[in-house]
Structure 1
Amino acid sequence: MKHPFIAAALALFSLPVLADSSHGFAFGEPAPAAKATRTVEVVLKDISFEPKSLQVKAGETVRFVLINQGQLPHEFNLGDKAMHVEHQKQMIAMQGKLFTAGMNHEGMDHNQMAHGEHGHAGGNTVLLQPGQRGELTWTFRTSAPIEFACNVPGHYQAGMVGPLTIE
Protein backbone atom coordinates (compact mmCIF):
# COMPACT_ATOMS: atom_id res chain seq x y z
CA MET A 1 0.00 0.00 0.00
CA LYS A 2 2.91 2.37 0.59
CA HIS A 3 4.25 2.04 -2.95
CA PRO A 4 1.26 3.77 -4.65
CA PHE A 5 1.75 6.79 -2.35
CA ILE A 6 5.44 6.94 -3.23
CA ALA A 7 4.64 6.57 -6.91
CA ALA A 8 1.94 9.24 -6.70
CA ALA A 9 4.33 11.60 -4.92
CA LEU A 10 6.98 11.11 -7.58
CA ALA A 11 4.39 11.67 -10.28
CA LEU A 12 3.26 14.91 -8.67
CA PHE A 13 6.81 16.25 -8.49
CA SER A 14 7.23 15.52 -12.19
CA LEU A 15 4.30 17.42 -13.62
CA PRO A 16 4.16 20.46 -15.89
CA VAL A 17 4.11 23.90 -14.38
CA LEU A 18 1.74 25.56 -16.86
CA ALA A 19 3.89 28.66 -17.21
CA ASP A 20 7.28 29.63 -18.46
CA SER A 21 9.24 30.27 -15.27
CA SER A 22 11.41 32.83 -17.05
CA HIS A 23 8.32 34.98 -17.57
CA GLY A 24 6.52 34.17 -14.31
CA PHE A 25 2.76 34.33 -13.93
CA ALA A 26 0.43 37.27 -14.48
CA PHE A 27 -0.38 37.31 -10.74
CA GLY A 28 3.22 37.19 -9.51
CA GLU A 29 6.34 35.12 -9.05
CA PRO A 30 8.24 33.05 -6.49
CA ALA A 31 10.45 34.97 -4.07
CA PRO A 32 13.11 34.13 -1.48
CA ALA A 33 11.71 33.67 2.04
CA ALA A 34 13.94 36.51 3.28
CA LYS A 35 11.90 38.97 1.15
CA ALA A 36 8.59 38.05 2.84
CA THR A 37 6.78 40.85 4.65
CA ARG A 38 4.25 38.45 6.17
CA THR A 39 3.98 34.75 7.07
CA VAL A 40 0.70 32.85 6.71
CA GLU A 41 0.23 29.32 8.06
CA VAL A 42 -1.96 27.05 5.92
CA VAL A 43 -3.03 23.63 7.22
CA LEU A 44 -3.85 20.98 4.62
CA LYS A 45 -6.42 18.47 5.88
CA ASP A 46 -8.45 15.71 4.26
CA ILE A 47 -10.09 17.36 2.15
CA SER A 48 -9.84 21.05 3.10
CA PHE A 49 -7.56 23.98 3.83
CA GLU A 50 -7.44 26.14 6.96
CA PRO A 51 -7.95 29.00 6.42
CA LYS A 52 -10.58 28.50 3.73
CA SER A 53 -9.68 31.78 1.95
CA LEU A 54 -6.66 34.07 1.77
CA GLN A 55 -6.20 37.81 1.22
CA VAL A 56 -3.00 39.55 0.11
CA LYS A 57 -2.06 42.97 -1.22
CA ALA A 58 -0.63 43.65 -4.68
CA GLY A 59 3.13 44.04 -4.27
CA GLU A 60 3.19 42.01 -1.05
CA THR A 61 5.57 39.07 -0.60
CA VAL A 62 4.01 36.32 1.51
CA ARG A 63 5.72 33.29 3.02
CA PHE A 64 3.22 30.42 3.23
CA VAL A 65 4.08 27.82 5.88
CA LEU A 66 2.27 24.65 4.81
CA ILE A 67 1.43 21.77 7.15
CA ASN A 68 -0.15 18.55 5.87
CA GLN A 69 -2.24 17.22 8.77
CA GLY A 70 -4.14 14.91 6.43
CA GLN A 71 -3.73 11.19 5.82
CA LEU A 72 -3.01 11.66 2.10
CA PRO A 73 -0.44 13.54 0.02
CA HIS A 74 -1.66 17.07 -0.69
CA GLU A 75 -0.55 19.96 -2.84
CA PHE A 76 -0.66 23.73 -2.34
CA ASN A 77 -0.86 25.25 -5.82
CA LEU A 78 -1.42 28.91 -6.75
CA GLY A 79 -3.21 29.58 -10.04
CA ASP A 80 -6.38 30.56 -11.80
CA LYS A 81 -9.20 28.10 -12.54
CA ALA A 82 -7.90 27.31 -16.03
CA MET A 83 -4.40 26.58 -14.70
CA HIS A 84 -5.82 24.18 -12.10
CA VAL A 85 -7.90 22.35 -14.74
CA GLU A 86 -4.81 21.89 -16.95
CA HIS A 87 -2.62 20.87 -14.02
CA GLN A 88 -5.17 18.24 -12.98
CA LYS A 89 -5.21 16.73 -16.49
CA GLN A 90 -1.43 16.57 -16.55
CA MET A 91 -1.27 15.02 -13.09
CA ILE A 92 -3.67 12.27 -14.10
CA ALA A 93 -1.72 11.59 -17.32
CA MET A 94 1.61 11.55 -15.53
CA GLN A 95 0.31 9.35 -12.72
CA GLY A 96 -0.78 6.78 -15.31
CA LYS A 97 2.65 6.78 -16.97
CA LEU A 98 4.39 6.38 -13.66
CA PHE A 99 2.23 3.45 -12.56
CA THR A 100 2.62 1.66 -15.91
CA ALA A 101 6.40 2.16 -15.84
CA GLY A 102 6.63 0.38 -12.49
CA MET A 103 8.59 1.35 -9.43
CA ASN A 104 11.93 1.50 -11.26
CA HIS A 105 10.49 4.23 -13.56
CA GLU A 106 11.99 2.73 -16.74
CA GLY A 107 11.73 4.98 -19.75
CA MET A 108 11.12 8.15 -17.75
CA ASP A 109 13.48 11.07 -18.20
CA HIS A 110 13.48 12.54 -14.68
CA ASN A 111 16.04 15.20 -15.57
CA GLN A 112 13.78 16.63 -18.26
CA MET A 113 10.74 16.36 -15.99
CA ALA A 114 12.46 18.01 -13.06
CA HIS A 115 14.07 20.87 -14.95
CA GLY A 116 12.41 21.12 -18.35
CA GLU A 117 8.89 21.60 -19.53
CA HIS A 118 7.63 18.91 -17.15
CA GLY A 119 8.92 20.31 -13.86
CA HIS A 120 7.44 22.40 -11.06
CA ALA A 121 9.97 25.05 -12.05
CA GLY A 122 7.35 27.81 -11.79
CA GLY A 123 7.58 27.74 -8.01
CA ASN A 124 3.80 27.96 -7.55
CA THR A 125 3.36 24.42 -6.15
CA VAL A 126 4.42 22.48 -3.07
CA LEU A 127 3.59 18.78 -2.58
CA LEU A 128 3.49 17.46 0.98
CA GLN A 129 3.27 13.91 2.25
CA PRO A 130 1.14 13.24 5.38
CA GLY A 131 2.72 14.93 8.41
CA GLN A 132 5.14 16.93 6.27
CA ARG A 133 5.75 20.71 6.44
CA GLY A 134 6.86 22.94 3.59
CA GLU A 135 7.04 26.54 2.46
CA LEU A 136 6.21 28.62 -0.59
CA THR A 137 7.09 32.32 -0.79
CA TRP A 138 5.37 34.42 -3.44
CA THR A 139 5.32 38.07 -4.52
CA PHE A 140 1.84 39.00 -5.72
CA ARG A 141 1.88 41.47 -8.61
CA THR A 142 -1.57 42.62 -9.57
CA SER A 143 -5.17 41.94 -8.70
CA ALA A 144 -6.32 38.72 -10.36
CA PRO A 145 -8.91 36.04 -9.63
CA ILE A 146 -6.76 33.16 -8.39
CA GLU A 147 -7.18 30.16 -6.13
CA PHE A 148 -5.03 27.99 -3.92
CA ALA A 149 -5.82 24.34 -4.50
CA CYS A 150 -4.80 20.73 -4.14
CA ASN A 151 -4.67 19.17 -7.60
CA VAL A 152 -4.01 15.61 -6.46
CA PRO A 153 -6.58 13.72 -8.59
CA GLY A 154 -10.07 14.19 -7.13
CA HIS A 155 -9.11 16.57 -4.31
CA TYR A 156 -10.05 19.83 -6.11
CA GLN A 157 -13.39 18.31 -7.12
CA ALA A 158 -13.98 17.26 -3.49
CA GLY A 159 -13.62 20.90 -2.40
CA MET A 160 -9.92 21.26 -1.60
CA VAL A 161 -9.76 24.74 -3.12
CA GLY A 162 -10.07 28.27 -1.81
CA PRO A 163 -10.10 31.82 -3.17
CA LEU A 164 -7.03 34.00 -2.89
CA THR A 165 -7.92 37.69 -3.18
CA ILE A 166 -5.22 40.10 -4.32
CA GLU A 167 -6.24 43.64 -3.25
Structure 2
Amino acid sequence: MKTIKLIAACALFTGATASFSHESMPHAAKPAAIKEQKEWGIAGDAKAVTRTITLRMGDDMRFAPSHIQVREGETVRLRAQNKGKVMHEIVIGTKTELDQHAEMMVKHPGMEHDEPYMAHVKPGQRGDIVWHFNRAGTFDFACLIAGHYQAGMTGTITVLPRAH
Protein backbone atom coordinates (compact mmCIF):
# COMPACT_ATOMS: atom_id res chain seq x y z
CA MET A 1 0.00 0.00 0.00
CA LYS A 2 2.89 2.37 0.82
CA THR A 3 4.34 1.73 -2.65
CA ILE A 4 1.07 2.73 -4.33
CA LYS A 5 0.87 5.92 -2.26
CA LEU A 6 4.50 6.74 -3.09
CA ILE A 7 3.91 6.20 -6.81
CA ALA A 8 0.75 8.34 -6.69
CA ALA A 9 2.56 11.13 -4.82
CA CYS A 10 5.42 11.08 -7.34
CA ALA A 11 2.98 11.20 -10.26
CA LEU A 12 1.16 14.18 -8.74
CA PHE A 13 4.41 15.99 -8.01
CA THR A 14 5.75 15.36 -11.52
CA GLY A 15 2.48 16.53 -13.10
CA ALA A 16 2.41 19.69 -10.97
CA THR A 17 6.03 20.51 -11.74
CA ALA A 18 5.46 20.06 -15.48
CA SER A 19 2.36 22.23 -15.47
CA PHE A 20 4.08 25.10 -13.65
CA SER A 21 7.35 24.90 -15.56
CA HIS A 22 5.81 25.32 -19.03
CA GLU A 23 4.48 28.84 -18.42
CA SER A 24 7.30 30.51 -20.37
CA MET A 25 6.92 28.18 -23.33
CA PRO A 26 4.58 28.90 -26.26
CA HIS A 27 1.16 27.36 -25.82
CA ALA A 28 -0.25 24.86 -28.28
CA ALA A 29 -3.33 25.61 -30.32
CA LYS A 30 -6.69 25.42 -28.55
CA PRO A 31 -8.03 21.88 -28.28
CA ALA A 32 -10.78 20.96 -30.71
CA ALA A 33 -14.08 22.60 -29.81
CA ILE A 34 -16.79 20.50 -28.26
CA LYS A 35 -19.52 20.32 -30.87
CA GLU A 36 -22.77 21.22 -29.16
CA GLN A 37 -25.80 22.02 -31.32
CA LYS A 38 -27.08 25.54 -30.69
CA GLU A 39 -30.08 27.33 -32.17
CA TRP A 40 -27.66 29.21 -34.45
CA GLY A 41 -25.59 26.19 -35.54
CA ILE A 42 -22.68 24.10 -34.35
CA ALA A 43 -18.89 24.44 -34.10
CA GLY A 44 -17.40 23.89 -37.53
CA ASP A 45 -14.37 22.08 -38.86
CA ALA A 46 -11.66 24.39 -40.26
CA LYS A 47 -11.20 22.02 -43.21
CA ALA A 48 -14.85 22.59 -44.22
CA VAL A 49 -14.64 26.42 -44.32
CA THR A 50 -16.00 27.74 -47.62
CA ARG A 51 -15.19 31.41 -46.96
CA THR A 52 -13.88 33.88 -44.41
CA ILE A 53 -15.87 36.92 -43.34
CA THR A 54 -13.85 39.66 -41.64
CA LEU A 55 -15.59 41.70 -38.94
CA ARG A 56 -13.77 44.77 -37.68
CA MET A 57 -14.29 45.85 -34.07
CA GLY A 58 -13.46 49.32 -32.84
CA ASP A 59 -13.56 51.54 -29.81
CA ASP A 60 -16.56 53.32 -31.36
CA MET A 61 -18.39 50.20 -30.03
CA ARG A 62 -19.39 49.00 -33.50
CA PHE A 63 -18.81 46.02 -35.76
CA ALA A 64 -18.17 46.56 -39.46
CA PRO A 65 -20.04 45.08 -41.12
CA SER A 66 -22.82 44.81 -38.56
CA HIS A 67 -24.92 42.48 -40.70
CA ILE A 68 -23.76 39.37 -42.52
CA GLN A 69 -25.55 36.80 -44.62
CA VAL A 70 -24.70 33.12 -44.99
CA ARG A 71 -26.42 30.09 -46.46
CA GLU A 72 -27.76 27.20 -44.36
CA GLY A 73 -25.20 24.38 -44.47
CA GLU A 74 -22.26 26.76 -44.93
CA THR A 75 -19.18 26.58 -42.69
CA VAL A 76 -17.70 30.04 -42.28
CA ARG A 77 -14.64 31.47 -40.59
CA LEU A 78 -15.66 34.67 -38.82
CA ARG A 79 -12.43 36.63 -38.44
CA ALA A 80 -12.75 39.35 -35.79
CA GLN A 81 -10.14 42.10 -36.10
CA ASN A 82 -9.78 44.40 -33.12
CA LYS A 83 -8.88 47.82 -34.53
CA GLY A 84 -9.29 49.48 -31.12
CA LYS A 85 -7.16 50.09 -28.06
CA VAL A 86 -9.25 47.98 -25.63
CA MET A 87 -10.25 44.32 -25.50
CA HIS A 88 -13.29 43.35 -27.59
CA GLU A 89 -15.02 40.06 -28.25
CA ILE A 90 -17.55 38.53 -30.56
CA VAL A 91 -20.17 36.12 -29.25
CA ILE A 92 -22.81 34.52 -31.50
CA GLY A 93 -26.25 33.73 -30.07
CA THR A 94 -29.90 34.62 -29.88
CA LYS A 95 -30.95 38.08 -28.73
CA THR A 96 -32.38 36.59 -25.50
CA GLU A 97 -29.21 34.66 -24.67
CA LEU A 98 -26.97 37.63 -25.45
CA ASP A 99 -29.15 39.91 -23.28
CA GLN A 100 -28.84 37.47 -20.36
CA HIS A 101 -25.11 36.95 -20.84
CA ALA A 102 -24.48 40.72 -21.10
CA GLU A 103 -26.34 41.26 -17.81
CA MET A 104 -24.13 38.62 -16.17
CA MET A 105 -20.99 40.28 -17.58
CA VAL A 106 -21.97 43.61 -15.98
CA LYS A 107 -22.29 41.87 -12.58
CA HIS A 108 -19.10 39.82 -13.06
CA PRO A 109 -16.84 41.78 -15.46
CA GLY A 110 -13.83 39.52 -14.94
CA MET A 111 -15.78 36.36 -15.79
CA GLU A 112 -13.80 34.04 -18.06
CA HIS A 113 -15.53 31.94 -20.68
CA ASP A 114 -14.39 30.12 -23.77
CA GLU A 115 -16.91 28.57 -26.11
CA PRO A 116 -16.48 27.80 -29.83
CA TYR A 117 -19.00 30.57 -30.68
CA MET A 118 -16.88 33.24 -28.93
CA ALA A 119 -13.61 34.99 -29.70
CA HIS A 120 -11.85 37.38 -27.29
CA VAL A 121 -9.53 39.72 -29.15
CA LYS A 122 -6.81 41.90 -27.68
CA PRO A 123 -6.17 45.35 -29.20
CA GLY A 124 -4.53 45.11 -32.61
CA GLN A 125 -5.07 41.34 -32.78
CA ARG A 126 -7.55 39.04 -34.48
CA GLY A 127 -9.55 36.00 -33.45
CA ASP A 128 -11.46 33.39 -35.42
CA ILE A 129 -14.69 31.51 -34.95
CA VAL A 130 -15.28 28.56 -37.28
CA TRP A 131 -19.03 27.96 -37.35
CA HIS A 132 -21.31 25.62 -39.27
CA PHE A 133 -24.64 27.38 -39.85
CA ASN A 134 -26.94 24.36 -40.08
CA ARG A 135 -30.19 26.17 -39.21
CA ALA A 136 -31.88 28.94 -41.16
CA GLY A 137 -32.98 32.09 -39.33
CA THR A 138 -31.78 35.41 -38.02
CA PHE A 139 -29.27 35.34 -35.19
CA ASP A 140 -27.19 37.91 -33.37
CA PHE A 141 -23.59 38.59 -32.45
CA ALA A 142 -22.24 41.06 -29.92
CA CYS A 143 -19.36 42.17 -27.76
CA LEU A 144 -20.44 41.29 -24.22
CA ILE A 145 -17.64 43.06 -22.37
CA ALA A 146 -19.35 45.21 -19.74
CA GLY A 147 -20.64 48.42 -21.31
CA HIS A 148 -19.87 47.47 -24.92
CA TYR A 149 -23.15 45.63 -25.55
CA GLN A 150 -25.07 48.41 -23.83
CA ALA A 151 -23.33 50.94 -26.14
CA GLY A 152 -24.68 49.09 -29.18
CA MET A 153 -21.80 46.79 -30.13
CA THR A 154 -24.08 44.26 -31.83
CA GLY A 155 -24.84 42.78 -35.23
CA THR A 156 -27.01 40.22 -36.99
CA ILE A 157 -26.48 37.10 -39.06
CA THR A 158 -29.11 36.04 -41.56
CA VAL A 159 -28.87 32.35 -42.43
CA LEU A 160 -30.75 31.84 -45.69
CA PRO A 161 -32.43 28.46 -46.28
CA ARG A 162 -30.52 25.92 -48.38
CA ALA A 163 -30.77 26.44 -52.12
CA HIS A 164 -32.61 23.51 -53.69
TM-score of the pair, normalised by structure 2: 0.70
- Which fold has the larger relative contact order, with Cα–Cα distance below 8 Å and residues 6 or more apart in sequence? 1
- Specify the alignment match of 1:69 in structure 2: 83
In structure 1, stretches of 5+ residues that fail to align are 1-20, 99-112
- Equivalences for residues 39-50 of structure 1 within 5 A: 39-46=52-59, 47-50=61-64
Name which of 41, 47, 64 aligns with 1:28.
Answer: 41
Q: Matches of residues 78-157 of structure 1 in structure 2 within 5 Å?
A: 78-95=92-109, 98=110, 119-121=113-115, 123-157=116-150
Larger radius of gyration: 2
**Is contact 2:40-2:94 (8 Å) kept?**
no
> 2:73 aligns to what?
59
Equivalent position of 1:163 in the other structure: 156
Deviation, structure 1 residue 22 = 5.6
User: Where in structure 2 are there 5+ consecutive unaligned residues?
Assistant: 1-33
CA distance in 1: counterparts of 2:35 and 2:57, whole angstroms:
29
Q: Is the 8 A contact 2:80 2:128 kept in 1?
A: yes
Identity level (%): 34
List structure 1 runs of 4+ shifted beyond 6 angstroms.
none
RMSD of the alignment, in Å?
1.8
Aligned partners of 1:22 and 1:56: how far apart in 2?
20
Amino acid at match of 2:74: E
- Counterpart residue identity of residue 62, structure 1: V
Query: AA paired with 2:40?
Result: F
Shift of 1:52: 1.8
